[in-house]
Amino acid sequence: MPQLQPGQPVPDFTLTAGNGENVTLSQFRGKYVVLYFYPKDMTPTCTEESCQFRDYNAQFENLNTEVIGISPDDLKSHGKFAAKYELPFLLLSDLDHEVCELFGVWQLKKMYGREYMGVVRSTFVIDPQGKLVREWRGVRIKGHVEQVLEAVKEAQAGVKTS
């Protein structure tokens, strides 16, 4: 499947959140959405990334922007992760990695000489009409959340963010 390009509509999907609620992307129409894909709850880098989104969540909310995390972890894991780190946003469970595949973030990875399939840390900003504004793939944590916040501000101001 070809990757989405900025300006294209993002395909709708429904996943279950850590709180047991079914969440559909299109229910956030009228808001910006920051969708971040991460490999695994409770791991150091994923925890750091999620806590940074938590720390900036009020600023995203002030910009009419919903932050949503997605990983292949189960609901119980998401519930524990969100509770332990006081994450104020939804964590969606993509057990079958269908949405990860839809966004092209389920890929072959290598660690310590071993190959396996997993999530490539990635973030997507979606506009209130459901179109892709900006994407980051193979994310490095340092400064990333600030870049995403700036991209939302630029999108709202009508500035080209590519």
Instruction: Give residue 159's pLDDT.
Output: 57
Catalytic residue chosen out of the listed positions 4, 15, 25, 46? 46
Q: What predicted TM-score, i.e. pTM, was given to this entire model? A: 0.93
* Termini Cα distance of the chain: 22
One digit per residue, the tens of pLDDT, for the chain of length 162 reads 457 788 899 999 999 999 899 999 999 999 999 999 999 999 999 999 999 999 999 999 999 999 999 999 999 999 999 999 999 999 999 999 999 999 999 999 888 888 989 999 999 999 999 999 999 999 999 999 999 999 999 999 985 544
Instruction: Give residue 158's pLDDT.
Output: 82
100 annotated active-site: no
**Are the C-beta atoms of residues 35 and 49 closer than 8 Å to each other?**
no
- Could you tell me whether strands 90-93 and 14-17 are parallel, antiparallel, or unpaired per DSSP bridges? antiparallel
22 vs 29: CA distance, rounded Å: 16
Compute the Cα dihedral for 63, 65, 71, 76 and give only its sign.
Answer: positive
95 vs 6: CA distance, rounded Å: 27
Instruction: Give residue 162's pLDDT.
Output: 46
Buried residues in 52-90 as b, exposed as e (16+ CB within 10 A): bbbebbeebeeeebbbbbbbbbebebbbebbeeeebebb
Tokens found for residue 127: 């506009």
Tell which residue, 85, 86, 33, 102, has the closest CA to residue 61.
33
Instruction: Give residue 161's pLDDT.
Output: 46
**C-alpha 57 chain-centroid distance:** 13
